[in-house]
A = this chain, B = another copy of it.
Amino acid sequence: MGRRKVEIKRIENKSSRQVTFCKRRNGLMEKARQLSILCESSVALIIISATGRLYSFSSGDSMAKILSRYELEQADDLKTLDLEEKTLNYLSHKELLETIQCKIEEAKSDNVSIDCLKSLEEQLKTALSVTRARKVYMLLLRYSVT
């Protein structure tokens, strides 16, 4: 789509990589907008440049709503895949919530470390049961990663 055909691999020249990033990023967002309007759909697009700058676009529904929907789907997939699901009962749900509560308690004194949250992740893996608990779990996982 230009004077010359380009191979899809990292553009070596820093300057032209930057220019291409800017142009294609705008093109991608415009395409996303068009798809959303033409076909009554919702589109969320997040782009992070090599230097860490963030660009986002959403159309149709709000970004938050689209991301929620995505996460809900992921949570459901997880539920479907978990073979131990059926063997877990309300007690493990309760245990999960108690573990979270405990963690909140620690957060109050501001002593939460990444390692601490990682170990929580391990505990939660075995404590998961109902979908609601799974959601809390996923959210806390994300919290610990950022």
Contacts and interface: CB of A to CB of B under 8 A. Distances in A.
A119 B39 CA distance: 36
Contacts of A25: 35
Contacts of A64: 142, 145
A110 to B, nearest CB: 8
A68 B11 contact: no
Contacts of A69: 46, 48, 54, 146
- Tell me how many chains of this kind the complex includes: 2
A43 B46 contact: yes
Given A8-B34, A17-B40, A142 B139 contact: yes
Looking at A35, A45, A46, A69, the one whose CB has the most chain B CB atoms below 10 A away is A46
24 contacts: A10-B39, A11-B38, A17-B40, A24-B35, A24-B38, A25-B35, A31-B31, A35-B47, A42-B47, A42-B48, A43-B46, A44-B47, A48-B69, A64-B142, A65-B145, A67-B142, A68-B145, A69-B146, A71-B142, A104-B104, A107-B132, A107-B136, A110-B132, A139-B142
